[in-house]
Structure 1
């Protein structure tokens, strides 16, 4: 169940981890669909046999940008901002992929509210998100994700 955060209480949550998303499965079908949509068909993503022979990971790994593209769904599964009429993805300030995400892994996002800045009609939320694999180890993605929220 998503955390419910009142729009007017957001500034008081800065610096706190406020939610953890659901788990999302990243299987070969999702990786293959992303490869087709983006035309990034590098063998480390789409060729399980070659990966078994030649990759240091022994199996396909997800595109970093596939992991990144799951952030809006992870955020939506984790948080409902009460009183928000509309939210917009405003961009990213920093993104890193510290560890590869192996096929058939589940991932989730841990959401820390880093900033709340007033803008016309609403606020810009700065989220620090860490995407972790249920296999453990280093995060598969860390990012500063900006969302504009309008009340």
Structure 2
């Protein structure tokens, strides 16, 4: 895991791969809990029997937004950004879903620092985020995650 203490240390990773998270298994319990939290109970996510009979993948799939919601958790396995007053998840740009994540698949976040700028004391970074699926050639998604950091 990278340890980043300030703007200059962060900037040293510009254009470089920052690393990958551990593998995280997305099981049906996590999918069901996400469905409950977001009120999105579409059958392709939560109805195992119907997914097996009618679904294109023959199993349930994770919500796309569930896979996105894992970014902060997986990112913290890649980089420990210290000496902060505040950290803000500012946005996601240029996101494309490549393929669905089937239930019981394992996913891993891979990160590269695309840009970093000091906006009068606020550090804005853009991280290229790729969510890989174990044993799959195509990622679940690729997008640019934007964080704002207020270093002490």
Normalised to the residue count of structure 1, the TM-score between the two structures is 0.93
Is the 1:116–1:123 contact (alpha carbons within 8 Å) kept by the matching residues of 2? yes
Counterparts of 2:50 and 2:77 in 1: how far apart (Å)? 35
Aligned to 1:4: 3
* Aligned-pair Cα RMSD in Å: 1.2
Is the 1:43–1:50 contact (alpha carbons within 8 Å) kept by the matching residues of 2? yes
Is the 1:3–1:80 contact (alpha carbons within 8 Å) kept by the matching residues of 2? yes
Aligned to 1:65: 65
Superposed displacement of residue 105, structure 1: 0.9
Superposed displacement of residue 136, structure 1: 1.7
Q: Which range is displaced more, 115-124 or 46-55?
A: 115-124
Is the 1:105–1:135 contact (alpha carbons within 8 Å) kept by the matching residues of 2? no
Matches within 5 A, 1:91-106: 91-106=91-106
Aligned to 2:22: 22
Aligned to 1:119: 119
After TM superposition, which residue ranges in structure 1, 4 or more long, deviate above 4 angstroms? none
Gaps of 5+ in 1: none
Superposed displacement of residue 120, structure 1: 3.1
Superposed displacement of residue 137, structure 1: 2.1
Normalised to the residue count of structure 2, the TM-score between the two structures is 0.93
Counterparts of 2:16 and 2:54 in 1: how far apart (Å)? 42
Superposed displacement of residue 101, structure 1: 0.2
